[in-house]
Structure 1
């Protein structure tokens, strides 16, 4: 493998047949193993740190990170969800939402089409894990391997949130950069990794970058609607024969570790990597652990060819 690695691409826009414009960026050699990174609720692609993306590229991947619809520089979608609809969904009652988890998975496939990639290794965090699971179920031949991180199956009896988070998630959205940064700092202090805490400065810098990139309160609500109305994939996941890795922190307050355990139990032959002291984030100290695990899982796909 060459020691000279291509610089990250400039951010680019892809106009997708789904009617959504998706902003994306690539790292590494286009001849490498294609790896699609899918972020979680309200998170722009920059939450996949450039350092982590570069480490993955250095390990033979052609890395693609992107802003989901309603996030960052990608399209905002029409339709509104109010608090009543969210609370109704939390209660398990039927609620209509502007789009579904399948729609977000279709965005990901359309982005691969734009890049002229027949298939890719896929890695998703939190809501992104739900998206990549949906991708694997809907078009398994296009998913070379799957890594689901701090996510769950859609079954309501696993992967629950700490009830203390609900007021923060339903709180009136920030109207200013300063308020958003302060609110984010409070949230990440609760859901971050107790054994690998971020500095307050790092959390505030990430929040400020997120605000500057573009924060949409209605967009976050629409994504939350897709999460709350997703189907229970537990039974369907049993049909997967794709090399699968499930990573979860034992101290995750946003998605309880039971979600990760249930995901791994549902997928035949999957690897479950539980990390003590990790919460609902990707600490720098664990980057190498993540890279090694993702590479190992991708190599399982190669051995099956």
Structure 2
């Protein structure tokens, strides 16, 4: 039964043991409803799955779970693990030189499945954004029995021949976060403005608030570097994606400055019968102007999977 957003139950943040780590999560809606697991991207905590987005999705009859990936926010930090040197990242990006990562995207996929185990979720609708989309794809590849449907948002297949962000943009977006609070907020807000693009109004007050909350929840630059290393060392998933049989939705913006729209097209082309939804003017964020339509697309996909 559908409920209004205001009637949606919110369960406060908790930690559970998953894949040998502590994973921090909260949830929206009734636990008895079909589960939707939201996976966030690089350097981005679970609170960037906007609460209004989660409530609206839960109001359609789902139990919505969002969580912090390893090495960020309130989930376990792997601070004993080394991070690659800056030059190693640069050599990988420019010349595809092999990068040594302390863990792989497959480990983050196993974290998600471990969270599902801890919450006694047998199967879920898996939704991932950016790096979260890569993780979601891997869950569908490696644990298809746990997946009801797959939604990959502003993500890619891992094929390094696909278009990528310009080197100038990449350097701006991937600069090491500054520790001093005021400078950090200014730097991070600038990054989000670049990601958002110029087509839709930029909600600076809301984004700055989320960034301030993120810094207070858990500021871990080394963890971001380890996550980035996992992305850069990941194998091309294209051939594995061709074997998927799960109902799939691929969402992308045609103005994405970080993961160009061609990457979304390639993802949809790789997955049999995947639906591709491209939003004109959307960058590497989900603008409030399209959020409701994104929710409707996810709900439509989920209902088709039942």
Q: Provide the TM-score with structure 1 as the length reference.
A: 0.95
* 8 Å CA contact retained: 2:177, 2:187: no
* 8 Å CA contact retained: 2:3, 2:61: no
Distance in 1, Cα, partners of 2:163 & 2:148: 25
Cα distance change, pair 266–176 in 1 and its aligned pair in 2 (3 A): same
Shift in Å at residue 153 of structure 1? 0.1
Aligned to 1:261: 265
State the number of aligned residues: 301
Give deviations 1:116-160, integer Å, cap 9, x for gaps.
Answer: 111100000000000000000001111100000000000012251
* 8 Å CA contact retained: 2:24, 2:74: yes
Which residue of the other structure, out of 14, 17, 27, is the alignment partner of 2:16? 14
Task: State which drifts further: 165-174 or 285-294.
Answer: 165-174
Shift in Å at residue 170 of structure 1? 4.5
* 8 Å CA contact retained: 2:35, 2:65: yes
**SS of residue matched to 1:289:** helix
Task: State which drifts further: 76-85 or 134-143.
Answer: 76-85
Give deviations 1:59-110, integer Å, cap 9, x for gaps.
Answer: 1110000000011100101312221221232121112111000000000000
Aligned to 1:236: 240
Q: Provide the TM-score with structure 2 as the length reference.
A: 0.95
**SS of residue matched to 1:10:** strand
Give deviations 1:193-249, integer Å, cap 9, x for gaps.
Answer: 422222322222221111111121100000000000111011110000000000000
**SS of residue matched to 2:10:** coil
Q: Can you give the 5+ residue segments of structure 2 that lack an aligned partner in the other structure?
A: none
Which residues in structure 2 correspond to 1:108-119 (within 5 Å)?
108-119=112-123
Shift in Å at residue 282 of structure 1? 1.1
Distance in 1, Cα, partners of 2:124 & 2:91: 36
Aligned to 1:87: 90
Distance in 1, Cα, partners of 2:176 & 2:41: 20
Aligned to 1:51: 52
**SS of residue matched to 2:74:** coil
Distance in 1, Cα, partners of 2:170 & 2:225: 13
Distance in 1, Cα, partners of 2:139 & 2:108: 9
Give deviations 1:260-303, integer Å, cap 9, x for gaps.
Answer: 0000000000000000000000111111111100011111211x
Aligned to 2:162: 158
Cα distance change, pair 133–3 in 1 and its aligned pair in 2 (3 A): closer
Q: Can you give the 5+ residue segments of structure 1 that lack an aligned partner in the other structure?
A: none
Task: State which drifts further: 41-50 or 169-178.
Answer: 169-178
**SS of residue matched to 2:277:** strand
